[in-house]
Amino acid sequence: MRKLAIEPQYAIEVKGLRKTFGKGENKVEAVRGVSLQVRKGEIFGFLGPNGAGKTTSLRMMVGLLNPSAGNVIILGKDPKEKQNQDFIKEKIGIIPQEVSLYLELTVEENLWFIANAYRVPSADAKVTIDKLISDMGLEEKRKALAKNLSGGMKRRLNLIMGLVHNPELVLCDEPTPGLDPQSRVVVWEYIQDLPKQGKTVILTTHFMEEADRLSDRVAIIDNGEVLVLDSPKALKKSVGEGDLVEFMLENTEKDHLEQIASALREFNGGKAIQEVYISSNRVIMRSKDVISNLSRILNHIEDQGAEVENMAIRNTTLEDVFISLTGRALRN
């Protein structure tokens, strides 16, 4: 009877992953017990501040770094076993955080170097390389030496270097620092398109907007631990429903701000406003129905003898989720 090959359910599974660097006084617990599964065909985001353990986790997840403890399974295979290593290497494309190019080679020579290293047949490599160069808007620079590219162009080339061998699993460590807003959108759209080509993407970022826009699911990581893991929508919903309204108040002392905040908590019997807190000189509130209550809320604030200097209504962000979990901002 023919044996059926069982397709692995997940692109990557990790269990109890830990990494400790150094000893004694220099000991750093970079990753402290991370367990998760990356589904095939999703964009999985790691969001966390500098030093949270994103790159270390990622490097262990692709077999580039040995864990101090825990297990990794990549496309159903254990990277510790020697016979799996070539298979894994071929299936994974790594886009490193530090731009890594052959500076004395041209743009297209850099890409051909990778194609040759992976033994991609030349006809396929040509088609792929032409497409990658065009997708990243680097046509005019294809004959330019990598060392003469601008910083943003180097980063765009760095991104496509990891895709020349058509990997099934793409790991992208901080894809957009240093890019101007337009290039950032080009890169975002490019990454968003990868699942349509049947690829799974793992992304790390400390930009909450990037994690929100791109990821199907996000793991928020801090101090080497995953604090929460869910879709951006569910994470934002978890901190409360409705929009946030920030009131900037003129010359208002802390005590007065507290007085205004408690008055808002009692507004309309506490029904219209879900949450009120103070941050520097602002009073921030969450309401499910801002628009219909707004003028009454403004009057209510003025009744407390305060003057609203400025006001902003905004949606909940992943930054609010991070603050609610840690009490700190993502970037401080």
Ligand X SMILES: Nc1ncnc2c1ncn2[C@@H]1O[C@H](COP(=O)(O)OP(=O)(O)OP(=O)(O)O)[C@@H](O)[C@H]1O
Interface contacts to Mg ion, rule CB under 5 A = 54-55, 97
Asked if residue 223 binds ligand X (CB under 6 A), the reply is no
Asked if residue 217 binds ligand X (CB under 6 A), the reply is no
Residues 6+ apart with CB under 8 A from 288: 241, 242, 272, 274
- Residue 48 CB, shortest distance to Mg ion, in Å, is 9
Please state the φ and ψ torsions of residue 228, each to the nearest 5 degrees.
-150, 160
Asked if residue 22 binds ligand X (CB under 6 A), the reply is yes
- Residue 64 CB, shortest distance to Mg ion, in Å, is 13
Which of 97, 259 has the CB closer to Mg ion?
97
Judged by CB under 6 A, the stretch of 43-51, 79-87, 149-157, 208-216 that binds ligand X is: 43-51
Binding residues for ligand X restricted to 197-216, rule: CB under 6 A: 206
Which of 92, 221 has the CB closer to ligand X?
221
- Residue 66 CB, shortest distance to ligand X, in Å, is 12
DSSP state of 7: P
User: CA angle 134-136-138, nearest 5°?
Assistant: 65
Asked if residue 128 binds ligand X (CB under 6 A), the reply is no
Going along 187-326, which residue ranges are E strands?
Answer: 200-205, 217-222, 225-230, 243-249, 273-279, 282-287, 308-314
Token pair, residue 42, equals 């999703």
Which of 68, 97 has the CB closer to Mg ion?
97
Judged by CB under 6 A, the stretch of 21-29, 131-139, 245-253, 305-313 that binds ligand X is: 21-29
What CA–CA distance (Å, rounded) separates 182 from 189?
Answer: 11
Look at residue 48 and give the partner it binds from ligand X, Mg ion, none, a contact being a CB closer than 5 to 8 Å depending on partner kind: ligand X
Look at residue 292 and give the partner it binds from Mg ion, ligand X, none, a contact being a CB closer than 5 to 8 Å depending on partner kind: none
Residue nearest to Mg ion (CB): 55
Token pair, residue 197, equals 């080509």
Map residues 59-98 to x or -, x wherever contact with ligand X holds by CB under 6 A. --------------------------------------x-
Q: What string of DSSP letters covers 299-328?
A: HHHHHTT--EEEEEEE---HHHHHHHHHSS
Which of 56, 110 has the CB closer to ligand X?
56
Going by their DSSP bridges, the two strands 243-249 and 282-287 should be labelled as: antiparallel
* Residue written as token pair 């030349």: 122
DSSP state of 251: T
Judged by CB under 6 A, the stretch of 48-56, 98-106, 185-193, 250-258 that binds ligand X is: 48-56
User: In Å, what is the CA distance from 103 to each residue of 98, 163, 165?
Assistant: 14, 19, 20
Interface residues with ligand X (CB under 6 A) are 21-22, 28, 30, 48, 50-56, 97, 206
